[in-house]
Amino acid sequence: MGLKVNEIFYSIQGESSYAGHPCVFVRLTGCNLRCSYCDTRYAYEEGEEMGIDMILCRIAGYRCPLVEVTGGEPLIQDETPILIHRLLENGYRVLMETNGSRDIRRVDDRCTIILDIKCPSSGEINKNDLNNLKRLKDNDEIKFVIGNVEDYNFAKKILNSMDPNQLRAASVFFSPVYAKMEANTLAKWILEDKLQVRLQLQLHKIIWGTEQRGV
């Protein structure tokens, strides 16, 4: 019983509505996708088996109330929902970032899901389980990683197809592919189209660059 863990580290949350907050990250090993721009390829295989009690113990050492479970893809490991439940029971605020290919209903409702919807330039658009959009709760967030205008138009189309009651503007993030898509171009498109979304820059990369792991 346990999970294969790539790394556990303490850093500044670089994305989502929690950007800027100190946060403990639990990066789980393995991913069922191979996105063209993936910046965590080291998490595909590397990692060590850890029991949930040991993971909780490591997290407790940081004395930080915010924890993000990420990957890789967290939902390919059977015990991820148990880890999240245990974290919540221990009083943590918990975020889980998922690549959107697996059913998010397995996860405790108190957890904030950051649902990545894959755009065409990822090369993994066919893996999106778009039924997840209907499963989102009020405290969840949607992220589109945008690499070009085709991605941007795809993201707009997805948003237009959603029930407006379900689509809360503050919870949708458009993030440019780092070093590939100019943030000012994406900002211009968002302003021109008057989209009620949030432009997201990856704060951790601005602070520490792209080479360092565990930040």
Of the candidate spans 33-41, 83-91, 133-141, 179-187, the one that interacts with ligand SF4 by CB under 6 A turns out to be 33-41
Q: Counting contacts by CB under 6 A, is residue 141 touching ligand SF4?
A: no
Q: Counting contacts by CB under 6 A, is residue 71 touching ligand SF4?
A: yes
Q: Counting contacts by CB under 6 A, is residue 188 touching ligand SF4?
A: no
What is the rounded end-to-end Cα distance, in angstroms, of the chain?
A: 28
Select 10 or 42, whichever has its Cβ closest to ligand SF4: 42
Residue 99: which residues within 8 A CB-CB, separation 6 or more?
31, 32, 33, 35, 71, 73, 116, 118, 124, 127
Select 34 or 188, whichever has its Cβ closest to ligand SF4: 34
Q: Counting contacts by CB under 6 A, is residue 7 touching ligand SF4?
A: no
In whole angstroms, how close is the CB of 25 to ligand SF4 at the nearest point? 13
Per-residue interface string for the shown chain with ligand SF4, residues 72-111, x marking contact by CB under 6 A:
xx-------------------------x------------
Helices (H) and strands (E) in the chain, counts: 6, 9
Q: What count of other Cβ atoms lies within 10 Å of the Cβ of residue 60?
A: 12
Q: Counting contacts by CB under 6 A, is residue 31 touching ligand SF4?
A: yes
Residue 74: which residues within 8 A CB-CB, separation 6 or more?
28, 80, 96, 97, 98
CA distance 123 to 79: 28
**Which residues contact ligand SF4 (rule: CB under 6 A)?**
31, 33-35, 38, 40, 71-73, 99
